[in-house]
Amino acid sequence: MISLDQNCHPLWDVYPKLHALAARGIRVVQYIEDFDTAFTAVGAVSNAPLRLAKERFYRSGGADWGAALFYNEFLGRLPTEIRAWEPYTGMKTDVLARHLGVSVDDLYDRHSPGDNWQLIGPSYLNGDTRRHHTIGDLMLFDETFEHARRLFDHLAREDMERCFPESHSREAAGRFCSMLWSSLIEMGAVRSPTLTDFYLGLADDAFVYNYFGQTTTPSGFAVNHVTGSQKHHYQNGIEFIRGSELPGIGVDSPVLSLFLTHYERAAALYNQAVVETHPGLRTLDIAAGELPFFGVYEHDGHKVRSPMFLQGDVVRIADMEFRVRDGRLSGEELDRAGVTQLPGKAIVLVLQLRTGPHADRLALPYHGSSYMPTAYRFQRLLCDAGLLDAASVKPVVRVRLRFLDRLRDVHTTIALPPHLADAMGKSELPACELGKHWADVQTDARERLAQLADPAGRSRWMHTALPDVTRDLADLDRRRRALAAANEKDPQLRDIWKQIKPLQQRQLAALVQQIDRDWQLKDLGYYDSRGAIWPWCLALGGEEFYNQVIRQADVYEENA
């Protein structure tokens, strides 16, 4: 079985996923990707420095995204695209902002950021929009060391110490972060290490030994890492390998061949899948021959990726051109040009990995990859069109940790983020109390949002949530109508409007606050299997609780 992740450090859910698979005797090869875009920042100029910032959207529709190094705060907010609220406010976003007396930018600044600290910066190499930085291009000490130090030894540590106030919890979380910091320091012995080298080093026995005083993971299975072409084979283990060693994303990919042979049909089906399931994604520019693939190669000493275009029988990657012969590219020609991988975009990559001579089952966490509905729709469309044999596609295997449900078994005190504190009616409580009620909180939020999406339901909510304001507005409206009926130019009308406006603004502000809270609560289940599950479990109940979560995880195949 294979697994891929760029944010491949123990403050992310990749380790619990692997431990749960290994605990069931499933051998997993974990690829630390170095062909995906490492980060991006909206509006960043070519020489803007890298920085840590919270993930968010902007009024332009763009978003900052750091795929290579990030940490989600404990049960924290997820980033919000404010335009998604329009069905619940009953007005366009610019109108909403105007009625609230703020700018659209202010609205995004206030409500869009999530609680995911991420490394962001200019995606393009030296401002060249044809070439994107990849994680394999990031040097640890020259570029990312201080950011990793701040993330591990400050932001993550401070978050866990705040959310787990009991002394034993703070000690466990602090020790975990200290081990990460120690591993980071030890990388100084490696000459010019990359961020990928650091992640491979974390996967080595050293980190596990430092924390647990043993050379096995909590699930009892060995962890090894692989560098270069050296392979370590063993039973019931986890293998860490660079993404550059990932097979199946080269010239022999059947999905790539499909696009090179039947471009118009395949591209149209790709766009159909996007429109039907994820309209926020960008469709392919078929007129330009845009392919849903990238070429990965070195340029001026940097490892970058560039979009691919098919023009006639020639594939263009930046300023390089390659001839298509019988639906295939020449591996020799790509090698001479230094092109090492041809990975697909997210929708295509998950299909690319599960088809062809190197196909294998793909392990994903529960709630992992928001693109899967689109990927599955694309897969079905290809099969229906006779372009793909459904039987040839390996399944996706989901790992569901049920972390929130398992909280019922621990009584450790937790401090809640504001949106959860409002819902639970207290800022601190035993973890078991949240474990018992989180699903009801999520259901209530979803039902309330459904109510607010209906104008009549929205009006009922206003009456219930703000009865005094609603009554005063109704009284003022009756007075306004009576005066207008008698004299449309009555000077008292102006005074009434002056009284109405702040009340309407207060009512609307309360509505936005409710939508904001419910928008976060409706997705509370995200943390069922995502986030820093390993250190969170250790802070809540120690190694025993973590092992319990791992042993009781659900592992199942998912149908397209």
366-391 pLDDT tens trace: 999 889 999 999 999 999 999 999 99
Q: Tell me the H-state helices in 204-240.
A: 205-212
The answer to whether 476 and 500 are in contact (CB under 8 A) is yes
Say if strands 302-311 and 128-133 run parallel, antiparallel, or are unpaired. antiparallel
Question: Which pLDDT tens digit goes with each residue over 191-233?
Answer: 678 898 888 888 765 455 445 544 444 544 444 545 443 444 3
Q: What SS3 class is residue 311? A: strand
Residue 208 CA to residue 196 CA, distance in Å, equals: 18
Give how far the C-alpha of residue 525 lies from the chain's centroid of Cα atoms, to the nearest Å: 14
Q: What does each C-alpha distance from 396 to 98, 355, 368, 383 come to in angstroms? A: 46, 12, 11, 17
The per-residue pLDDT for 216 is 47
pLDDT-flagged residues of the chain (< 50): 206, 209-210, 213-217, 219-223, 225, 227-236
Question: Which pLDDT tens digit goes with each residue over 147-183?
Answer: 999 999 899 999 999 999 999 999 999 999 988 888 7
Residue 51 CA to residue 123 CA, distance in Å, equals: 13
- Strand blocks (E) in 263-346: 290-299, 302-311, 314-317, 320-323, 339-341
Taking alpha carbons only, the member of 186, 223, 182, 229 closest to residue 205 is: 223
The answer to whether 294 and 406 are in contact (CB under 8 A) is no
Question: What's the maximum distance between 2 C-alpha atoms anywhere in the chain?
Answer: 90
The per-residue pLDDT for 271 is 97
Give how far the C-alpha of residue 455 lies from the chain's centroid of Cα atoms, to the nearest Å: 32
> To which H or E segment does residue 164 belong?
none
Q: Radius of gyration (Cα) for the chain, nearest Å?
A: 26
Question: Which single residue is written with the structure tokens 């996923």?
Answer: 17
The residues that bridge with 428 in the sheet, in sequence order, are 415
Question: Angle at CA 202, nearest 5°, toward 28 and 370?
Answer: 55
The per-residue pLDDT for 446 is 98
| Three-class DSSP labels, 503-558 | HHHHHHHHHHHHHHHHHHHCCHHHHHCCCCHHHHHHHHHHHHHHHHHHHCCEEEEE
